[in-house]
């Protein structure tokens, strides 16, 4: 039974380890790219411009911005945003929404770069005891170091690696989904003990069916549009806002809001909020 939920804390030691890991991964990827040997890369395509615009709208409400060039965002812009948000109360929320705004990384045999890390060459090399792509890469490196890859072995890996890239990408998606659903379920379990309580949150999503609100402990719930009883609200898709017809009251991304927990559904993994009554 979950007793407490809080954001994952990254301290100086964590950041140092992450830096070493990234440098190792980039170095190995670049070396094997220039050796032109069969290899498994970790690639990440450029994001959907519309999702990036939504992210820009959201972070603008916290005083941050990202620059666009011909409708596209440079990889370094996302990195700069995450650096600026470091050690601020909104860091966890911004980094999570930045991640959601981007495409999913995958394993490929062709190196096309990693947008999210702003890296020209990237692979997964550092976890062979827990990740199959890393183990596959270690096998290639060992074989190459011990005497080089013969034409026969190169052909063997050329034939093998496309299937490996497709399967490992699919298995990763499945594992991520299982983890996400489990975390959501435990959050529902935790919030079931807090029904009727009031929390301060931030609007993390605006849709035509309601508002998603994230609490400081990372729990996200939904205020259905039918629960906004003070007015009839319509959805402004371009600016991602809900606007009251008579009051012109606006709900937008990044806006602070007080909510009351009204219910949880462990099977559907959903948490219901309503706006808390003004004190």
Q: What is the CATH number of the domain that holds 213?
A: 2.40.50.140
Q: Which residues pair with 44 in a beta bridge?
A: 114
Same-domain pairing of 113 and 177: yes
Same-domain pairing of 137 and 203: no
Same-domain pairing of 121 and 218: no
Q: What pLDDT, on a 0 to 100 scale, did the predictor assign at position 36?
A: 95
Same-domain pairing of 267 and 203: yes
Q: How far apart are CA 53 and CA 59, in angstroms?
A: 10
Q: How far apart are CA 272 and CA 154, in angstroms?
A: 55
Residues of the chain with pLDDT under 50: 279
Q: How far apart are CA 147 and CA 100, in angstroms?
A: 43
CB 231 within 8 A of CB 249: yes
Same-domain pairing of 152 and 265: no
How far does Cα 112 stand from its chain's mean position?
A: 20
**End-of-domain residue from the set 155, 188, 221:** 188
CA nearest neighbour of 222 among 242, 200, 207, 235 = 207
Q: What pLDDT, on a 0 to 100 scale, did the predictor assign at position 279?
A: 46
Q: Please compute, for residue 239, the number of CA atoms within 13 A of its CA located in the half-sphere on the CB side.
A: 11
Same-domain pairing of 111 and 165: yes
CB 255 within 8 A of CB 200: no
Q: Residues 6 or more apart from 271 whose CB is under 8 A from it?
A: 187, 188, 191, 219, 220, 221, 222, 261, 263, 264, 265
- Model pTM? 0.82
Q: How many domains, the chain?
A: 2
Same-domain pairing of 32 and 158: yes
Same-domain pairing of 36 and 153: yes
CB 233 within 8 A of CB 239: no
Q: What pLDDT, on a 0 to 100 scale, did the predictor assign at position 187?
A: 97
**End-of-domain residue from the set 146, 171, 188:** 188
Q: Is residue 57 part of a domain?
A: no
Domain containing 264 equals 195-275
Q: Is residue 56 part of a domain?
A: no
Q: Which two tokens stand for residue 74?
A: 């440079």
CA nearest neighbour of 104 among 26, 56, 176, 162 = 176
Same-domain pairing of 28 and 134: yes
């Amino acid at each position: 039974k979950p007793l407490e939920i809080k954001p994952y804390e990254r301290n100086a030691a964590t950041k140092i380890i992450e830096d070493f890991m990234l440098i190792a991964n980039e170095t190995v990827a670049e070396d094997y790219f220039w050796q032109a040997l069969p290899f498994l890369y970790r690639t990440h395509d450029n994001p959907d411009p519309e999702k990036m615009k939504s992210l820009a709208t959201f972070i603008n409400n916290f005083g941050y911005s990202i620059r666009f060039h011909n409708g596209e965002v440079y990889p370094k812009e996302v990195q700069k945003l995450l650096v600026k948000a470091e050690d601020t109360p909104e860091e966890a929320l911004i980094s999570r929404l930045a991640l959601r705004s981007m495409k999913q990384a995958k394993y490929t045999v062709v190196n096309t770069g990693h947008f999210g890390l702003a890296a020209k060459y990237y692979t997964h090399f550092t976890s062979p005891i827990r990740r199959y792509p890393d183990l596959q890469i270690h096998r290639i490196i060992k074989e190459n170091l011990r005497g080089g890859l013969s034409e026969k072995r190169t052909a063997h890996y050329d034939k093998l690696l496309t299937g490996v890239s497709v399967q490992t990408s699919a298995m990763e998606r499945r594992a991520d989904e299982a983890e996400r659903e489990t975390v959501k379920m435990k959050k529902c379990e935790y919030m079931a003990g807090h029904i009727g309580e009031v929390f301060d949150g931030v609007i993390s999503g605006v849709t035509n069916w309601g508002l998603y609100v994230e609490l400081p402990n990372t729990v996200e719930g939904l205020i259905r549009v039918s629960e906004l009883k003070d007015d009839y609200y319509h959805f402004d898709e371009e600016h991602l806002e809900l606007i009251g017809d008579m009051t012109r009251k606006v709900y937008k991304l990044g806006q602070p809001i007080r909510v009351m927990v009204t219910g949880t559904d462990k099977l559907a993994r959903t948490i219901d909020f309503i706006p808390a009554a003004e004190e």
